[in-house]
Amino acid sequence: MDADVFVPFVFFGFLAAIILVPIWLKERTKQSAHNLISQALEKGQPLDPNLMRELTQASANQPPPDKARRSLGSGVVLLALAGGFVAAGFAVDGFDPSGSALRGMMVPAAILGALGLGFVLLALVDFSTKKKDQ
């Protein structure tokens, strides 16, 4: 297999795995909860209503309890990744006589930095609206 075919195949396979594996794991968790309830009912065991509610609602898509903290964490991680790309660009720049390695590493750094800054600003807005609501 030639590299022109292999590299995109690996990239899109990796991308599909990152997207599909968490979905599959969530569905498997739902299925195991369903099987647990089915087995308990087949054996004639009484089911506690609180346990039933927990098992059925635990896998439901519920909003995160603290959106501001989650946004801040995402922003910090993205800003750290942007800093890593900048540092890697300066480190690799010495090995590239044309200087294009630094410019190539600044593109993802700028994108990640802008996203990280947006998440940090979103967290600040969430924190301020949270304080007004209380």
Burial of 112 (0-12, 13-18, 19+ CB in 10 A): buried
pTM value is 0.56
Give alpha helix (H) positions in 43-99. Answer: 49-57, 67-93
Q: Rounded to whole angstroms, how far apart are CA atoms 25 and 37? A: 19
Note the pLDDT of residue 58. 56
CA-based radius of gyration for the chain: 23
pLDDT in tens, 35-47: 888 888 888 888 7
Please report, for the chain, the start and end positions of each structural domain, with discontinuous segments joined by +.
Answer: 1-62, 63-134
